[in-house]
């Protein structure tokens, strides 16, 4: 009988930035065909820049067999996450959740979100936020399955795209059972 490899969720190390950027770009590459060439180039640059930026409170990675296979960034406000204090979000926001296409379906995204939720609770927050768009339908299904609810008041526009806000009530999140 072969042992199932264990997925380790931990903080990213600074020297791992390029590996994280590669996983993120690999994960988000599927949207290149849905976006115009210019929008994809902007999105790709934004993804890469986020890996090297300093605004994130935490950069959480998933490691399988000593290799980074997923990541998520956690910010403590809309000002930190988007440079937009007017949005009025003063609780954690996760951004750029990414799992290598070769490792999808193993629960890695759920583990990364669960860790961000756990950390949010430990910091004294009662909600966890995120933003996504309709082109990320599979991700939306995951978020809703994990208990995120639409937070219409946090919706934003990026050009013609409606970027929908979602929020998880950490006081009643079943995803935190047996974790905190």
Ordered mean pLDDT values, 10 residues apiece, the chain (180 residues) = 78 95 92 84 88 93 96 96 92 96 94 96 96 90 94 88 91 67
Helix (H, G, I), strand (E, B) or coil at 130: strand
Roughly how many angstroms between the first and final C-alpha of the chain, as a whole number? 32
Angstrom distance (rounded) from CA 10 to CA 164: 28
In a domain, 158, yes or no: no
**CATH code assigned at 19:** 3.40.630.30
In a domain, 22, yes or no: yes
In a domain, 178, yes or no: no
In a domain, 21, yes or no: yes
Is 159 exposed, middle or buried (CB count within 10 Å of its CB: 0-12, 13-18, 19+)?
exposed
Q: What is the pLDDT of residue 2?
A: 56
Q: What is the pLDDT of residue 122?
A: 95
In a domain, 115, yes or no: yes
Tokens of 143: 């978020």
Angstrom distance (rounded) from CA 27 to CA 53: 19
Q: What is the pLDDT of residue 180?
A: 44
Angstrom distance (rounded) from CA 179 to CA 114: 8
In a domain, 106, yes or no: yes
Beta bridge partners of 167: 129, 149
**Is 148 in contact with 115 (CB distance < 8 Å)?**
no
* Total number of residues shown for the chain: 180
Q: What is the pLDDT of residue 160?
A: 79
Q: What is the pLDDT of residue 9?
A: 97
Tell me how far CA of residue 143 lies from CA of 13, 37, 158, in angstroms.
Answer: 27, 28, 21
In a domain, 114, yes or no: yes
| Total domain count, the chain | 1
> Can you give the residue range of the structural domain that contains 49?
7-126
In a domain, 174, yes or no: no
């Amino acid at each position: 009988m072969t042992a199932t490899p264990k997925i380790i969720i931990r903080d990213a190390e600074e020297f791992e930035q390029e590996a994280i950027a590669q996983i993120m770009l690999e994960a988000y590459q599927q949207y290149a065909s849905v976006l115009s060439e210019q929008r994809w180039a902007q999105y790709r640059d934004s993804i890469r820049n986020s890996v090297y930026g300093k605004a994130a409170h935490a950069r959480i990675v998933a490691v399988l067999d000593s290799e980074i296979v997923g990541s998520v960034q956690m910010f403590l406000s809309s000002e930190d996450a988007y440079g937009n204090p007017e949005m009025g979000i003063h609780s954690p926001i996760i951004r750029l959740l990414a799992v290598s296409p070769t490792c999808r379906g193993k629960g890695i995204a759920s583990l990364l979100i669960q860790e961000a939720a756990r950390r949010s609770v430990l910091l004294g927050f009662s909600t966890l936020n995120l933003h996504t768009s309709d082109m990320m339908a599979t991700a939306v299904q995951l978020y809703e399955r994990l208990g995120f609810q639409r937070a219409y008041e946090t919706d934003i526009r990026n050009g013609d795209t409606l970027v929908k806000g979602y929020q998880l009530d950490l006081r009643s999140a079943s995803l935190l059972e047996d974790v905190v």
